[in-house]
Amino acid sequence: MKKLIVLMVLMAGITAMAQKPERERGDRGNMRDMTPEQIATLQTKQMTLALDLTDAQQKEIQSINLENAVKRSEKMNEMKARKESGEAKKLTSEERYAMKTAMLDHQIAQKEKMKKILNKEQYMKWEKMKDNRESRRKGRRTDGNDKRSGRK
């Protein structure tokens, strides 16, 4: 009986240790509490540090980030309202296609705007940052060893 209790306590301890602490899970919870203006300002400041932006570039990028943050906030509120009202349903293939097309059009427009604002060196660095961020989001490693696809 004692061995069984010790084993259960040990298993509970191992399970608790295997969980990621809150600080490692990402700060998305903190971002939900911020206004679109605050999010845009933080994004702009991070880009300024990473890309060494001029004041003029900061102002242009701030407006782009603010526009994106407002749109994201509206979409999230719309989806939340739909979910709470019970209208959330599985999208048809046409709806998914339209959503994906709109998203890709937005990404293309974003790239064009960034090309106009950033110089060549900054743009290349921004592209690399964007690719790394997408890789992390998809769970791939950024050190060149992508085990799932067999690439190195």
pLDDT of 88-138, one tens digit each?
677 788 888 998 999 999 999 999 999 999 999 999 999 999 888 888 877
Backbone φ and ψ for 33, nearest 5 degrees, come out as -80, -10
Q: What is the per-residue pLDDT across 2-35, written as a single tens digit (0 to 9) for each?
A: 888 887 787 777 777 777 665 555 555 567 788 8
How do residues 42-64 score in pLDDT, each as one tens digit?
999 999 999 999 999 999 999 99
Query: What pLDDT does residue 28 have?
Result: 54
CA-CA distances (angstroms) from residue 134 to 84, 97, 129, 139, 150?
A: 30, 21, 9, 9, 18
Tell me the two tokens of residue 4.
Answer: 């069984």
Tell me the two tokens of residue 93: 């293939």
Q: Do 118 and 51 form a contact (C-beta atoms < 8 A)?
A: yes
pTM: 0.66
Q: State residue 112's pLDDT score.
A: 94
How far is the C-alpha of 129 from the C-alpha of 49, rounded, in Å?
12
Dihedral in degrees, nearest 10, Cα atoms 92, 137, 24, 35:
-70
